[in-house]
Chains A and B, each alone.
Chain A
Amino acid sequence: MASGTPPKVFHFKLVLLGDASVGKSCLVVRFAKGEFYEYQEPTIGAAFMTQTVSLSSEVVKYEIWDTAGQERYKSLAPMYYRGAAAAVIVFDITSRESFDAAKSWVAELQNTDTLIALAGNKSDLEASRAVEREMAKSYADQMGILYMETSAKSGQNVNELFHEIAVRLPKQSKEDDQSRGFAAVASTVQRGRAKLRERFLPSFLHKENFRCLFLPWFCSFLSRLAKPFIQTPESC
């Protein structure tokens, strides 16, 4: 190389999660090959796709795993997302259901070292939007994860999403495990804050839940207390 040291190359496993037909494969194909097909046929026999993202001082090489259709009947093998450095959880902005599924994926991966990014795909279908951008954004902020609205069809935000993940991924060689743990902590300060809040404010004490949870409970508690004093027809 002509100029100094070659940039360091980092390899990361990246997985895509989400309901069937939210456009996971399309997103990968758009990112890896710059192509889009309305009816994306799953690539037979291909286990991974690879694509690199160049940052200023280093190169991030993604090894992107596709679900291979195993998610269709809620039968995704946990092995698939085990040990992934990053997970892109995709939902379809025109489907409320897919957003709920995405939420459960976030919950599944929350306590692991995996960096989570939430992608609201099909942003070109603005007309039939079912998930508000603000709602998804505030949810993502609350969980301390990245959120972007993408369109595999137009290519909007696709490269940006993977670039942003590359920037956020903690980069260190596998040799120095101690600094690894440390770096991971530093990069997840936001997540840590969310967790702290969780610790100090037990979730069921949240005001939203007060009316629907404590009030009925309190009423039933009262009625139990009152039971001995109320004579019901059976006991007569």
Chain B
Amino acid sequence: MALLTDDECQADVVVLGTGLTESIVAAAVARSGRRVLHLDAAETYGGAGRSLPLREYIAWAGDARDARMPGDGVQAGGDLRSLPRHGWQRLWEPFAPRRTPETAEMPEETREQTEVPEGQRAFALSPERTECYAERSFEWDPFQQMNGIRRKKNELLRNPSAFSLDLSPRLLYGRSEHVDVLIESGVARYLEFQGLKFTRVLTSEGLISVPLTKSEIFQDAHLSKAEKRMLMRFITSIQPYVSSLAFQSAAQLGVDQAAKIKGPSDQSALGMELDGSWRAFLQQQNLSERLQDFITYSICLWDWAPTEAFPQLSCREALERLGAFISSLGLYGRGTSMPLLFPMYGIGEVSQGYTRLCAVHRGVYALRTRATHLLAQEEEDGTMQLSGLVTCRGEQIKASRLVAACGELLQDQVPSQSSSQHCRRMTVLLSSPPLGEEGVSLCVVPPQSLDPPLQNVVQVLQLDFSSGACPHGYFLAHLSQASISDPGPLPFADLDRVLEELLKRSPKTACIFRCRYLQRPRDVATRWDVSTRTGGFMERCLHEERLAVVSDPPAVPQLLAVQEVHDARRIFGSFFGAESAFLPKPQHVAEEEMSGSLEELEHFNQQMQAQEAQEAQEPPVASLVQEDAEQ
């Protein structure tokens, strides 16, 4: 049964799970010349932050039967040998003997008794695999307004790989640690990004675009003159803070260094208390309600309404967010000034990019491989040391260090617990752009925009063909809302209302499918029960920095990838010391940059020569003309 060769079973670091953070760690370890074995129990890359093609997405979200069609995979004129397995099942269903579900299900190999080598001990991990997504549901044509939904459905399912649907969509700031690491490590070479085209705010007056530059503020049609003046005054007065922050922001310094800096020292100019409430500060600045919402929700991208139950935005954090936003303005993309980047085909693609970097540096990859036991070596002094793990195929892997995604590592018979902060998500496929214009764009709905007010602010991310997420002529909207309280009976009511409101603006828009789910990141701290022997062992491995557990993608911020690189750097540093280089620039990237600039120089020289040649040719022509004239 064993697949991996003996040689591959000897690794320096085993990584379980192919989420973004784990993949970055794997790439960094492989890049430093150590041997990595990267496993994932799932069939696809990306862990909890994966991006799925349509069929897999439907199977994940709801009914697996919805994703299949009779005769699936039978090719034109071909014979049935090319038929995939589920296609066969489908064809034989009418005359296959009836089986009870118990026998139909493939029993997973249970290895109660693992042969453990001399002097080692095996600690069982939980065989159950849970996800951080709950209450998933998927419906075709949820509003029952479409004719021919069946035809449309078949048309979409015929080419399911035209979709790349994020479970937890993420954007990157144009200038951020993450983008720096992507470029430095050469992973950016594998990926493409789309710049955000515009940001809108849905207010009671309609969809309003957020003015970002002086000229945009000046030309804005929605703001009153007084508001424009207020906004300009605010921007001018906040300028010194933000511009100084642009140099001190986490993005430029690296998060760990930025954490040491106390923030802007000169606070007297605005009379700002850094730990004070941002909302109070904005009120003090005499900004109108609407402008306050603009700044807090669409520029700072704050996820919580000013309710007492929710976390409050402090001035320090707001300035940091403002700095990150403003320092990334106008960096990438033609004609767009928006500071956020969407990785084409979703965030799952970014983790795949890192896995490729790891593989190029001899990392070994095996999906569909689960760890069943941790192995420990008994030392002379009687303590246990992590020595490796056993896979579901019974391979014994030797490794002294282990990185595991939260979902891959749970002690047997310990229930998984979730944190109270969660994110309600809804993904819909529409036939025309819900935000009025095509392109990757963001819309924020402050709670007061609708009547009665929403429980919390809603963010809408619109994606189209250009982002690689859906086929031509269709539009995806990811709606999300952070929450802290119990979901209640109707957790998605607010999202539905926002969708309805957006659809009202373009009555011809059809909603082709709707998928709803709760994203509940699990608690890393309760992956094991410390009072048991296994739990105690795992806890000690964690303290001795031989084991690192990676948390699920956070519920808040809903649409930003901010923590992953920082976490990966921390894990890598804890394993090999902070002085070892984290994803240094590879030779070929340096060479490419060099040759790129050389090419540019050459191009410039050629242009200059051409111009000179032209100039050299021109005078005789001119003189001839003159001579003609003289004659």
Q: Which residues of A contact B (CB under 8 A)?
A: 42, 44-48, 67-70, 72-75, 77-80, 82-83, 103-104, 107-108, 111-112, 142, 194-195, 197-198, 201-204, 206, 208-209, 212-213, 216-217, 220
Contacts and interface: CB of A to CB of B under 8 A. Distances in A.
Interface stretch (B73-81, B140-148, B567-575): B73-81
B91 A80 contact: no
B135 interface: no
Interface in B168-188: 186
A201 B355 CA distance: 42
Given A72-B365, A208-B79, A47 B162 contact: no
Interface stretch (B226-234, B274-282, B356-364, B623-631): B356-364
Contacts of B586: 45
A79 B345 contact: yes
Contacts, number: 116
Nearest to B77: A206
B261 interface: no
A73 B368 CA distance: 9
Given A73-B365, A209-B79, A79 B352 contact: yes
Identify the 7 closest CB pairs spanning chains A and B, nearest first. Answer: A198-B76, A79-B352, A77-B352, A68-B359, A73-B366, A220-B95, A203-B74
A107 to B, nearest CB: 7
Contacts of B161: 78, 108, 111-112
Interface string B462-488: 000000100000000000000000000
Contact of A77 (B94, B356, B369, B587): B356
Interface in B265-283: none
A184 B71 CA distance: 29
Interface in B77-115: 77-80, 82, 91, 94-95
B361 A74 contact: no
Contacts of A103: 82
Most A Cβ at <10 Å: residue of B162, B192, B360, B361:
B360
A203 B94 CA distance: 19
Nearest to A1: B606
Nearest to B46: A77
Contact of B588 (A46, A69, A72): A46
Interface in B577-616: 586-588
B367 interface: yes
Given A45-B360, A68-B359, A77-B45, A82 B349 contact: yes
Nearest to A68: B359
Given A47-B588, A111-B161, A112-B161, A197 B349 contact: no
Contacts of A44: 360-362
A206 B162 CA distance: 28
B361 A69 contact: no
Contact of B73 (A107, A111, A112): A107
Nearest to A108: B161
Interface of B: 3-4, 45, 71, 73-80, 82, 91, 94-95, 158-159, 161-162, 186, 189-192, 345, 349, 352-353, 355-357, 359-362, 364-369, 468, 586-588
Contact of A201 (B3, B76, B361, B588): B76
Nearest to A43: B360
B80 A77 contact: no
B39 to A, nearest CB: 9
Nearest to B78: A203
A108 B587 CA distance: 34
A107 B75 contact: yes
6 contacts: A44-B360, A79-B190, A79-B191, A79-B352, A111-B158, A142-B78
A69 B364 CA distance: 8
B196 to A, nearest CB: 20
Most B Cβ at <10 Å: residue of A79, A103, A195, A198:
A79
Contact of B352 (A45, A73, A78): A78
A213 B345 CA distance: 39
Contacts of B367: 73-75
Contacts of B588: 45-48
Contacts of A68: 356, 359-360
Nearest to A73: B366
A111 B360 contact: no
Contacts of B159: 111
Contact of A79 (B76, B79, B82, B349): B349
Contacts of B587: 45
Nearest to A223: B95
Contacts of B359: 67-70
Contacts of A77: 45, 352, 355-356
A14 to B, nearest CB: 14
Contacts of A42: 362
Given A73-B3, A73-B366, A142 B77 contact: yes
Nearest to B353: A79
B349 A45 contact: no
Nearest to B71: A204
A78 B18 CA distance: 13
B77 A201 contact: yes
A203 B75 contact: yes
Contacts of A48: 588
